[in-house]
A and B are shown apart, each in its own frame.
Chain A
Amino acid sequence: MASADTARLALRNLRVGRPDGTFILDIAGLKAEPGQCIGVRGPSGAGKSMLLMAMAGLLEGAAGDLRWGQTDLLTRNSGARAAFRQTHVGMIFQDFLLFDELSALANASVSLGFVKVGDRAAIKARAANWLRQLGLQDLDRPVASFSGGERQRVAVARALANDPAILLADEPTAALDWYTADRLSTDLIQAARSGNKTLIAASHDTSFLDRMDRIITLDHGRMVEGAA
């Protein structure tokens, strides 16, 4: 179960530096409540992807205070951060990153390979459940033959399979046509709200951003709008 508390974000003085002393990211403060959907926008190179990576504990060079509930992520070592992601974070990327030869179900439950044996059945069931809920029928077909929208839905199901408290999405609709993008936005927001998950999504897609609870704007690594 996603712990409601883990979905609560409190971020202060997050900094990711360049070798020349300037900052890729320099965020004074950001808060998010469980069930909230936050859109991140800004020009290309503003640091949107970096912010998401940092929030997932994927940037070695990040400094500052980044708390998800009780967990001060940046003080943890990389193994502990990976373990945190395994249980609490779901990530979605613009280009899906699926294993073409694996079926939809195997892709959505790819974490079966490394999670504790006791958790495997639940993950598999949840992955199958989400795939169906997202409108996919043929769960055993290799995803190589799936359309873009179908592939992105497999990626979403994969992000949701461990029932994470935190959903981080980096331009999840960018590779999709308008109609498919709209459906996916609905599904993603719906999944976050109904599961009391915090969704943070970087996007250029205004119709997607418009449906968020809140929008923050980044420029040159700083938050120029939307600070809480």
Chain B
Amino acid sequence: MSGWSDLSATWQDALICLALLGPGAVAGSVVLRGFAPWALVAAFLRRFVWTNLLFVILIAASVALGIGLVAQERALRMGGARATDKFDLIISAPGSELSVTLAAVFLQPMQLQLLDGSTFAEIEASPGVALAAPLVFGDSFGSAPIVGTTAAFVDHLAGPVAEGRVWQKAGEAIVGATLPLTFGDGFVPAHGYGEAADQDAHKGAPEHRVVGRMAATGTPWDRAILLPIESVWQVHGLATGHAPDRVAQMGAPFDAAFMPGVPVMVVKAASLPATYAVQSRWQSDTRTMAVFPGAVLSGLYRVMGNVRVAMSAISSLAQGLVAASILAGLLILLRLLGRQLALLRVLGAPARFVLAVVWSYCALLLAIGTLVGLAAGVGLAAALSNWVSGETGVLIYATIGWTELHLTAGFLSVVAALSLLPGWVISRNANVADLRL
């Protein structure tokens, strides 16, 4: 079969959307053919205005929750994927792949084993390695984690600095894009993170000065302070990675003999095949572990995928139940108008017209609720995204996607079909007996 697969994804999605709307549209056009029920529908909307409003809110809320969850979950996955973009390969001492990923990509405090200087040097010298950047963690200033690394890594992560300059000597710092520190601000790193940080551990260490600001990355790194790795080691009273006659050296090459341990190395290889080669070389080495953070995250999402499906199913079910109970409510309301509807039959309206009036009223109410819910769901997802971005530093945008549009289109068809029910019941009961005087 050619044709379908030749279409662009957008076209496919748009056509699926139309196909999902199809049954509802067909039901509507069959029911409404030749009729103009809208004056009566407007009368019903006005007659029961508060109840109608309540029903719209109920249906909107149930739709919004469903849409919000789906949009938010996808945004979270995309944000996570973007955050791992610059971390092709991470090499560390053997341990938990997830811990290493969380520490390096998301700057979460983790207990990690260290690689020694000679292993570091060996990895750096592996064929195909274009960049081998050490990362050290453990200090903080206020709520900002401090990461020790090299200027080459800063450039790899975010490109040229957005403001100021790169550090040239120990004691100079570069701040993340959103960190509220400005040039010239001085600070003394505290040992540890947050509440547990030991403010006085590095008392007497030289004050560090902000000299540059990194371009925005949309990752937790935007809220970090980056120091030359030599500075961090120095603050901790360790060797600085360089022989005593080269203390002014910043970044590579390091001198294995003078290198304290490194928990994480970010490796960039010259090509994709080279990346795989380096990974398999160091994954099979007993001293090390070589992790693709992207793969770690997708493994995580795969596990959560079932949860996602279950969640969508539950929220769809809830939506269906809300719609059904609202239709039951509408049926009761419309019984109050039984005599007027019977009158339509007396005036010569076919039973299908009564069906059309009731169907239009119910379907319109539910459709309005659904569309309001779609908009509210997008708003809800945006609010959630903002909150999650604020909490984690991972920039995520929840946008409306085809999945939500498909869900909405399918739901609209379902409500169009369900609305036939009260229409059918009322039109059968729009009995002249109701007119007895």
Interface residues of A (CB under 8 A from B): 49, 53, 56, 58-59, 79, 82-87, 89, 91, 93-95, 97-102, 106, 110-114, 116-117, 158, 162, 170-171
Min CB distance A130 to B, Å, is 15
Tell yes or no: B36 within 8 A of A by CB: yes
Closest Cβ of chain A: how far from B369's Cβ, in Å?
Answer: 21
Cβ of B184 within 8 Å of any chain A Cβ, yes or no, is: no
- The stretch among B89-97, B295-303, B429-437 that forms the contact with chain A is B429-437
B23-31, B40-48, B273-281: which lies at the A interface? B40-48
Q: Which residue of B lies closest to A81 (CB)?
A: B348
Residue on B with the closest CB to A58? B432
Q: Which residues of A contact B34 (CB under 8 A)?
A: 114, 116-117
Q: Return chain A residues, CB-CB under 8 Å to B40.
A: 99, 102, 110, 113
A112 contact set on B, CB distance < 8 A: 36, 39
Contact A111 B432 (CB under 8 A): no
Known: A113-B37, A114-B35. A58 touches B346 (CB 8 A): yes
Which of chain A's residues have a CB closer than 8 A to the CB of B350? Answer: 79, 82-83, 114
Which of B47, B340, B353, B436 contacts A113 (CB under 8 A)? B353
Q: Place the interface of chain B in its size category.
A: 20 to 34
The answer for the CA separation of A114 and B346 in the assembled complex, in Å, is: 12
Q: How far is the CA of A94 from the CA of B437 in the complex (A)?
A: 8
B347 part of interface (Cβ distance < 8 Å): yes
Distance to closest chain A CB from B345 (angstroms): 7
A85 and B36 form a contact (CB under 8 A):
no
Tell whether, in the assembled complex, residue B432 and residue A110 are in contact, meaning their CB atoms are under 8 Å apart.
no
A58 and B342 CA atoms in complex are apart in Å by: 11
B182-195 vs A, Cβ < 8 Å mask (1 yes, 0 no): 00000000000000
CB <8 Å contact, A49 and B437: yes
Query: What 3 A-B pairs have minimum CB-CB distances, sorted nearest first?
Result: A86-B348, A85-B348, A101-B43
CB distance from B298 to the nearest CB of A (A): 56
Contact B348 A87 (CB under 8 A): yes
Q: Collect the chain B residues with CB atoms within 8 Å of residue A84's CB.
A: 348
Contact B346 A101 (CB under 8 A): no
Interface-centre pick from A87, A91, A98, A162 (highest chain B CB count, 10 A): A91
Q: Which interface residue of B36, B344, B346 has the most chain A CB atoms within 10 A?
A: B346
Tell me if B349 is interfacial: C-beta within 8 Å of chain A.
yes
- Which listed residue (A58, A82, A86, A113) contacts B36, Cβ 8 A? A113
Contact A171/B346 with A101-B42, A110-B39, A110-B40 known, Cβ cut-off 8 Å: no
Are B348 and A101 in contact, CB atoms less than 8 angstroms apart? no
Q: Nearest chain-B residue to A85 (Cβ)?
A: B348
- B39's contact among A86, A93, A102, by CB below 8 Å, is which? A102
Also in contact, A99 and B346, with CB within 8 A (given A113-B37, A114-B35): no
**Contact of A59 with B43 in the complex, beta carbons under 8 Å:** no
Complex Cα spacing A82 to B46, Å: 28
On whether A106 and B39 interact (CB within 8 A), knowing A53-B432, A100-B47, A101-B47, the answer reads: yes
Find chain A residues with CB under 8 A from B340 CB: 97-99
Closest chain A residue to B39 by CB distance? A106
Q: Is the pair A83, B348 in contact by a Cβ cutoff of 8 Å?
A: yes
Q: Check if B86 is an interface residue, CB within 8 A of chain A.
A: no
